[in-house]
Amino acid sequence: MARIRLLLFGRYQDDLDLAQAELELPDRVTDVARLREWLSARDAAWEGICGAANPRLMTAVNQQMADATTPIGDGDEVALFPPVTGG
Amino acid sequence: MFTVRIQQDDFDPGAELERLHRGDLGAGGIATFIGLVRDLNLGDRVQGLTLQHYPGMTEKAVNAIVDEARQRWPIQGALVVHRVGPLAPGDRIVMVAVSAVHRGESFAACEFIMDYLKTRAPFWKKEQTPDGPRWVEARDGDQAAAKRWVD
């Protein structure tokens, strides 16, 4: 079973009152799209961030920008965040 | 010289520029941009803001942006200093400076780095307003500015 470290930034950190968590993934969760689907099923707040209705969600896997097809495996660091606003 | 720094502390733009071109007699000019905290956003007074970032990824993302600028233009040097943490109106947030043989490359690369910083580097601003704190929303204009460089 794959274990990942999940990080949240920006507004999502406040929305979920969570900055980071260690998660054990079910076997079927092997990429970013499936992770979003799995997290969306938790409750309305997670659904609001990870659900298909939020196309603005950005993801990074092991500190590199990721997309829906980026694979996720044991030991990975996965971050969820809104569009960036630096500069 | 190529430098990327993420830091809480303020910086001295003059000293940064001096370091960027000292010893580089091939550089014909430097284009510089400095971003500041404004006291007004979306019609509301801004008393200050906090810049959050993703430690570890931020440095990699900014270095990747500078590397891409180096592949696109023959630049002599580049500097990116980006602050994080609590800032007040008037404070410097970011400085980008690019040295090149001719001005065209330095202007273009400086603008490219800023456009990509605003859309690809993991920073988030939270403003303090009289009505309480609020996260700053990304501007569509910033996305459009970054897209210009794709074609």
Amino acid at B131: D
pLDDT digits (tens, 9 = 90+) for A62-73: 999 999 999 999
Angstroms from B137 CA to nearest CA on chain A: 7
Q: How far is CA B1 from CA A64, B20, B25, B59, B78, in A?
A: 25, 6, 12, 17, 6
pLDDT at A1: 79
pLDDT at B135: 97
Decide if A11 and B124 are in contact by the 8 Å CB cutoff: yes
Q: Give A71's DSSP letter.
A: B
**Nearest CB partner across the interface for B123, out of A63, A79, A84:** A84
With 80 as the cut, is the pLDDT of residue B151 above it?
A: no
Amino acid at A46: W
CATH number of A2-81: 3.10.20.30
- Above 0.90 for ipTM, yes or no? yes
Question: With the CA atoms of B53, B63, A34 and B136 taken in that order, what torsion angle do they form, in degrees rounded to the nearest 10?
Answer: 30
The nearest alpha carbon in chain A to B124 belongs to: A85
Length of chain B: 151
- Which tokens hold the place of B65? 């942006």
Q: Domain locations in chain A?
A: 2-81
d(CA A36, CA A77): 14
pLDDT at B94: 98
Length of chain A: 87
